[in-house]
Structure 1
C-alpha cells in the first residue's frame, strides 16, 4: 500500500503526459501488449511526439521471418510509399532467382539486383530489425485507429494487425503485435520519400539497432523529383486529392480525441477514397507525367 501511495505521489508531481505514462506502468500485466515498430514508429518524434505514446519499455530486436519493405502505396510524387513487412519463408538452400528478384522489388527498389547461385542468400536484404515497445492495450488501440485500416482488418487498403515472433539482441523470443500491408495497398517497386526514410534512419540510431542494419537503411534510395513534368504532377496530384487527404486527417484526429474507432461505414468510405486515388494515378497521372512512385520509370 505504501508503494502505491508513493507512486501516486510521484505521478501527481509530473507533467500530464508523464502522469499518463506512469499511471499505465501500474496497470496489471494483462493490460500490456508488445508492439513491434519497424517504420516511422521507431522514431521518437513520431511515436512519442506525434502519437503521444510513452512506452513502458523498448527493446531492439530482429524478426527472422520478415524483411522490411516499402510496398504500401502512398501519395504519388510526394510520399510514394510507406513501410511494411514482407514474409521470408525460404530456407537458404531453396532460394531461387525468381524469389530473390521478387523480394528485391518489394524491399529495395533503386538498388542494383545481383544473384549469386552459389550464395543466393546474399541476394536478399537483411532480415527485419525493429523496436519492441511494451505499451498499454489502450495505446495499441490508438495505433490501430490512426493507421490505414482504422482498426478494421477486413478492409482492402491500409494496414492489418498480425502477430510476429521477434528475437531480441540478447536472444529472447517475444511474440508481438505489428501491422502489415492489406492486399490492395501493395505496390512493388515503390521508393519512399527522403523525409520518410530519414525517420527510419533516425529511429534506428535512437534505438541502437545493429550497425549493419543502420548501414542498410542508409544505402536505400529515396524517390526524387527530377523532371519539370513530375514537379507539375506533384502539384496537380496534391490539388486533385487534397480534399481526401484533409478528410483522412480530420477523421484520424476525431478518432484520437474521443478514443474510439471510426464507424465502419465511414471506414469503408475512406477505403473507397483510397481506391479512387489509386485509379486516378494509374489511369491519368502515370501515363501523362511518368512514375510518381520510383525513379526508374
Structure 2
C-alpha cells in the first residue's frame, strides 16, 4: 500500500504556508545543524542490543522519515527495527504554529475495552496489529480519529514506529531539534520488535501541561505526508498505515483565515526562529533558561491566538465547517445495510407487523397465483 498524499486545496495559500514553514523549521545557522544523505540500508538491531554507550530511540512522528531524520537533522542511526508499543497510541495534541502547523505528533496511554485486545499478534510476515483492524472497521462506519478530544478514542491501535540505535551525541541532537526539552519529556517505554523481542527505548512524550488536548487540532497536510512517507519507507503494516491515512489535515477555508495567517506569522516568526536556534545551540547549564525562553515565546504566541486571532480571524487549528459537515452527512447518508433494514422495516409495517408476516406473505402468494 502506498502512503496517502494530502494535496493542498489552495495553491497560493499553500505556498505561503510552505514559505513560513521553511523560515521556521529550516532557517537555522549552518553551524547549528548538518545535512546528510539518507541511507536506508540500516542494519537491524542485534539480539545483544545496542553497543555499550549507545542509546535506543523510538521514533513515531516526523523522525520516521529518512529525509527528516538523517537528512535535515543529520542523524546517522547505527541500526534500526520496526516495533509496536502496546501501552501507547499516537495523538496530535502538541501545539505548533496556528494556521500553518497547528499541531505535532505525541503519544498517550492507550485505552482498550477488553484486556485480550492489549496484546499485539506477530505474523510470519512481520508485525500485524490486530487492534488496528478493529479500529479500521469502526472508522469505516464514520468514527474518525481526529475527534474533538484526541484522547477519547477507545480501542485506538497500539503505537508503531522504529527504534534506532544512536550515539549519545546524535541523541543530544535529537533532543535539541525536538525543542531541547521545552515540549517533550524523555521517557523509557517497553517495545516489541518485529521478531517478537522486548526492547526498552527512549522516546519523547509531551505531558498534558504542554499540550492542547481539547482543541481538536488537525496536523497539516505537509506533516501528515512526512509521517506517511516514513511509515512506508520502513514497511510498517498496511493496517497501521491505513489508520494513519484516516487523519484529516487542517485546511484554510476562508479569506479571514488567510489574512490571520499572514499577520500571525509576521508577528511571531522572528521570535520563533530565534527560539528554535537557541534550543538547538544550548545544552548543559544553558538548558534551563533556554526552556524558559521557549515556554515564554510559545505561551505568548498561543495566548495571542486564543484571545485575538481565533475570535477575529477564525480557527487556526481545525478546518472550519468540517464537524458540521460530518454531522450532516451522518444524518442524511445511510449505509447500504441501514437502507436494507429501513426497507425491511417499511415492508413489515405494511404487512401488518412481524406477527402477521407469515399470513401476509401467504395471502400475497395466493393472490399472485390467481393472476
Aligned to 1:194: 221
Displacement of 1:287 in angstroms is 1.2
- Provide the alpha-carbon RMSD of the alignment: 3.0
Please identify the structure whose Cα radius of gyration is greater.
2
Contact 1:71–1:82 (8 Å) recurs in 2: yes
Aligned to 2:316: 292
Contact 1:110–1:296 (8 Å) recurs in 2: no
Contact 2:110–2:156 (8 Å) recurs in 1: no
Distance of 1:94 and 1:58 partners within structure 2: 29
TM-score normalised per structure 2: 0.61
Q: Does 1:173 align with 2:198?
A: yes
Aligned to 1:159: 184
Q: Does 1:88 align with 2:110?
A: yes
Distance of 2:146 and 2:66 partners within structure 1: 26
1:2-37, Cα deviation, whole Å (9 max, x unpaired)? xxxxxxxxxxxxxx969xx9xxxxxx9221111000
CA 223–248 in structure 1, closer or farther in 2 if over 3 Å, else same: same
CA 253–162 in structure 1, closer or farther in 2 if over 3 Å, else same: closer
Displacement of 1:186 in angstroms is 1.1
Distance of 1:168 and 1:261 partners within structure 2: 36
Contact 2:145–2:246 (8 Å) recurs in 1: no
Contact 1:251–1:262 (8 Å) recurs in 2: no
CA 17–194 in structure 1, closer or farther in 2 if over 3 Å, else same: closer
Contact 1:145–1:260 (8 Å) recurs in 2: no
Residue in structure 1 matching 2:87, options 61, 65, 68: 65
Residue in structure 2 matching 1:140, options 171, 175, 197: 171
TM-score normalised per structure 1: 0.76
Q: For 2:245, what is the secondary structure of its paired residue?
A: helix
Q: Does 1:49 align with 2:71?
A: yes
Equivalent residues in 2 for 1:91-110 (5 A)? Answer: 92=114, 108-109=145-146
Distance of 2:285 and 2:196 partners within structure 1: 36
1:25-64, Cα deviation, whole Å (9 max, x unpaired)? xxx9221111000000000011100111111111111110
Distance of 1:80 and 1:169 partners within structure 2: 33
Contact 2:110–2:155 (8 Å) recurs in 1: no
Aligned to 1:31: 53
Distance of 1:30 and 1:237 partners within structure 2: 47
Distance of 2:302 and 2:267 partners within structure 1: 12
Residue in structure 2 matching 1:274, options 293, 298, 304: 298
Q: Which moved more, 1:189-198 or 1:285-294?
A: 285-294
Distance of 1:62 and 1:215 partners within structure 2: 16
Displacement of 1:273 in angstroms is 1.2
Q: For 1:229, what is the secondary structure of its paired residue?
A: helix
Distance of 2:236 and 2:284 partners within structure 1: 33
Q: Does 1:221 align with 2:248?
A: yes
The answer for unaligned runs of 5 or more in structure 1 is 1-15, 22-27, 116-120, 152-156
Distance of 1:17 and 1:245 partners within structure 2: 25
Distance of 1:243 and 1:50 partners within structure 2: 21
Aligned to 1:212: 239
Contact 1:110–1:221 (8 Å) recurs in 2: no
Aligned to 2:356: none
Number of residue pairs matched by the alignment: 249
Distance of 2:115 and 2:195 partners within structure 1: 27
The answer for unaligned runs of 5 or more in structure 2 is 1-34, 43-49, 118-134, 322-371
Displacement of 1:245 in angstroms is 1.4
